[in-house]
Structure 1
Amino acid sequence: MFKDIILAITPSEICECAADKAFAFAQRFESKLYLVHICGIEHGWGSMEHLEASGETARIKDKIMAYYGDKLEGIKDYEVIVRAGIPHNEILRLVRQKNADLVVMGPHTKKYVEERSRMWGMAGSTLERVSQRCPCPVMIVTRQAPYGEQVFNKVLVATDFSDPAECAVNYGAQMARHYKSELVVFHAMDQEELPQEEVEQRVEAAKNRMSVEYGPRLAGISASSFECWEGKASTEILKTARIHKADLIIMAHHTREVDPEKAVLGSTVVQVALNSSAPTMSVNKHFDLRCGLMYDQTGEATEAGSAAAPAES
């Protein structure tokens, strides 16, 4: 299903959950795995030539191999890449160069345990910028999952009816077909001081809209439903995921914010990812799974293409 996976890491326990998820995917799907470490400001923005000449690149690669060596033994095809530069720029450049179909990331700082919710709302974080701009899906993993268990029985897709959210719904439908999962499409309605009767009418209207706009896209899925609740988006998404015991949350990143410099301040997708027990996947553009069967809007199965097709931004 995933042919080329980029795992953005530091060789430490901070990235353990994300690394385990990427290793398990690479083993199950026989993917090419790229373990990527970007040497940023701590190296004084030095050039790659300087790092290589000093032997620092080799030392970092050796450290990565020593830390993850045991788990890499079960992976047939992998490459360790160490580069200098601005982390999010280099990760996104590698995504394009390797034609990756999945990026796996976790927190990259020791302060995460104490400050996770606050710090990832800070402008400029690598996680924010990669998930915002990446042409392929980005899976954010912040909780430990049973190693080797990669079955998604229940998938939750959050939508606000934007174009990027439509791409997330399409991708969620593909995931549900591949895993034969139950799919829940969810919309969080802004909380307003309205009579209860009007709130209920708006909830039903949102459900009907989801059914009309997304129903044809869910052909071939054995169990699907549409839900809507009022309240803060991140809170309601997390609540719904807990109720349904979702194994995966899929959503679009910054769908409503026009100014990207404002958008990086506490996005819903990152707030959900940092507080969810399930992995959270950010999908901003149309992107097809690279294996198995695809379904058209009539429910007819067709062979998937050999390459994904991200839309142009």
Structure 2
Amino acid sequence: MIRIKNVLCPVDFSPISRRALDYSIKLARHYEARLHLLHVIAPVVPSLYVDSTRVEEAIKKQVDREMPKLVESARHSGVDVESIVRSGEIEMEIQVAARARKADIIVVGKHARPAVERWFIGSTTDRLLRRSATPLLVIGEGKRSTPPNIRRIIVTTDFSEGTEDAFAYGLSLGQEAHASLVFLVFLHVMRPTPVAIIPPLLPTVLEPQQSADQVRQELENRVPADAREGCSVETRVEAGEPYREILNVVQQTRADLVVMNIHGKGGLERALLGSTAERVIRGAPCPVIAIPPGKTRRMSA
């Protein structure tokens, strides 16, 4: 069973940040965890047209005014809470705070961005998704149930490294909430390859593709034996573009939460845009938990 003892919630006092805080409060109360509210004051770059000193003073006044309100809101809900204010690069300070507070999960808000802008690096949430060693719970603008009223959870996998982590996390959350669990896996669809003008000298060898029945059997074998204790379980095999199919299933089932693992990629690969996790987070109407490899094994025990 997953143990959540420390919840870290970075706040910037925006409406989406407030939604993340509300979710964090309910999560912390449900698990009787401590809530750590973090605000990071990013450096103000001096310029000819900007008085950096006045800007920093205004920011600090806002922090002094707004942070006590958030702390009081959490305490009023019966949650043990502390506030942290740091200065520095936002993503780095979040990771430092997560390590220092031994955070079991980081809850962040997802700001809606134009389609073109989505393809460019710049979002703190995007950078955390690529680099964080702590599970990341991303809250969007859609309306879905919060703990302990989560009723439908989608757990996705492609049988890559970290599958067991996602399964264990989703199962624990599902059993805690007595929710319906859908374990979702995808068939690898062979894409047509361009025909070369000059035939290759050696024959091309294609790896055999698993059939739907084989994939379904492997999925059933990987679902923990105790998965059906306290919650209903469904296994589904879909074919197609993974992120599109995940979003389709989320819409069909009106899921309250998606749990997925982040592949054990190297630094360069995790720095690239376009992963399934990023696309699901951008398009999902419900919160998404992204779990880095090996995290569940470190948290459980």
Q: Shorter chain as normaliser: what TM range? A: 0.7 to 0.9
Q: Distance in 2 between matches of 1:97 and 1:133?
A: 16
CA contact (8 A) 1:288 1:309 kept: yes
Cα deviation for residue 284 of structure 1 reads: 1.4
Cα deviation for residue 62 of structure 1 reads: 1.6
Cα deviation for residue 93 of structure 1 reads: 1.2
Tell me if 1:152 matches 2:143: no
Q: Which amino acid aligns with 1:87?
A: I
Q: Please, what is the CA RMSD of the aligned residues?
A: 3.2
Q: Distance in 1 between matches of 2:145 and 2:159?
A: 35
Q: TM-score, normalised by structure 2?
A: 0.78
Q: CA separation of 1:42/1:268 partners in 2, compared to 1, >3 Å: closer, same or farther?
A: farther
Cα deviation for residue 200 of structure 1 reads: 11
Q: Which amino acid aligns with 1:65?
A: M
- The answer for the alignment partner of 1:61 in structure 2 is 63
Over the matched positions of the two proteins, sequence identity in percent amounts to 21
Aligned with 1:264 (options 268, 272, 275): 272
Q: Distance in 1 between matches of 2:6 and 2:167?
A: 22
Q: CA separation of 1:76/1:250 partners in 2, compared to 1, >3 Å: closer, same or farther?
A: closer
Q: Which amino acid aligns with 2:103?
A: A
Tell me if 1:233 matches 2:242: yes
Q: Secondary structure at the match of 1:94?
A: helix
Cα deviation for residue 22 of structure 1 reads: 1.1
Cα deviation for residue 212 of structure 1 reads: 1.7
| Consecutive unaligned residues in structure 1, runs of 5 or more | 45-49, 290-306
Tell me if 1:88 matches 2:86: no
Higher radius of gyration, 1 or 2 = 2
- The answer for the alignment partner of 2:187 in structure 1 is 189
Deviations 1:24-69 (Å, cap 9, x if unpaired)?
Answer: 223344432111122224456xxxxx99xx7677524324326636
Deviations 1:181-232 (Å, cap 9, x if unpaired)?
Answer: 22111112343369xxxx9972222111111233436363542122111111
Q: Distance in 2 between matches of 1:137 and 1:256?
A: 13
CA contact (8 A) 2:185 2:237 kept: yes
| Consecutive unaligned residues in structure 2, runs of 5 or more | 47-51, 193-207
- The answer for the alignment partner of 2:288 in structure 1 is 280
CA contact (8 A) 2:152 2:257 kept: yes
Q: Distance in 1 between matches of 2:253 and 2:146?
A: 22
Deviations 1:46-95 (Å, cap 9, x if unpaired)?
Answer: xxxx99xx767752432432663663332442222121222222111111
Q: Distance in 1 between matches of 2:91 and 2:226?
A: 33
Tell me if 1:246 matches 2:220: no
Q: Secondary structure at the match of 1:218?
A: coil
Q: CA separation of 1:125/1:208 partners in 2, compared to 1, >3 Å: closer, same or farther?
A: same
- The answer for the alignment partner of 1:308 in structure 2 is 299
- The answer for the alignment partner of 1:77 in structure 2 is 80
Q: Distance in 1 between matches of 2:152 and 2:209?
A: 26
Q: Distance in 1 between matches of 2:112 and 2:231?
A: 39
CA contact (8 A) 2:162 2:264 kept: no
Q: Distance in 1 between matches of 2:166 and 2:12?
A: 28
Q: Secondary structure at the match of 2:183?
A: strand
Q: Pairwise mapping of residues 99-248 of structure 1 onto structure 2 (< 5 A)?
A: 99-107=102-110, 112-115=111-114, 117-123=115-121, 125-145=123-143, 150-192=148-190, 202-216=211-225, 218=227, 220=229, 222-248=231-257
Q: Distance in 1 between matches of 2:171 and 2:185?
A: 16
Q: CA separation of 1:169/1:146 partners in 2, compared to 1, >3 Å: closer, same or farther?
A: closer
CA contact (8 A) 2:108 2:137 kept: yes
Deviations 1:238-296 (Å, cap 9, x if unpaired)?
Answer: 1112222211100012x27545356431222122122212110011134459xxxxxxx
Cα deviation for residue 160 of structure 1 reads: 1.2
Aligned residues: 276
CA contact (8 A) 2:40 2:85 kept: yes
- The answer for the alignment partner of 2:200 in structure 1 is none
- The answer for the alignment partner of 1:9 in structure 2 is 11
CA contact (8 A) 2:30 2:147 kept: no
- The answer for the alignment partner of 1:303 in structure 2 is none
CA contact (8 A) 1:12 1:67 kept: no
* Range with bigger deviation, 19-28 or 169-178: 19-28
* Range with bigger deviation, 210-219 or 264-273: 210-219
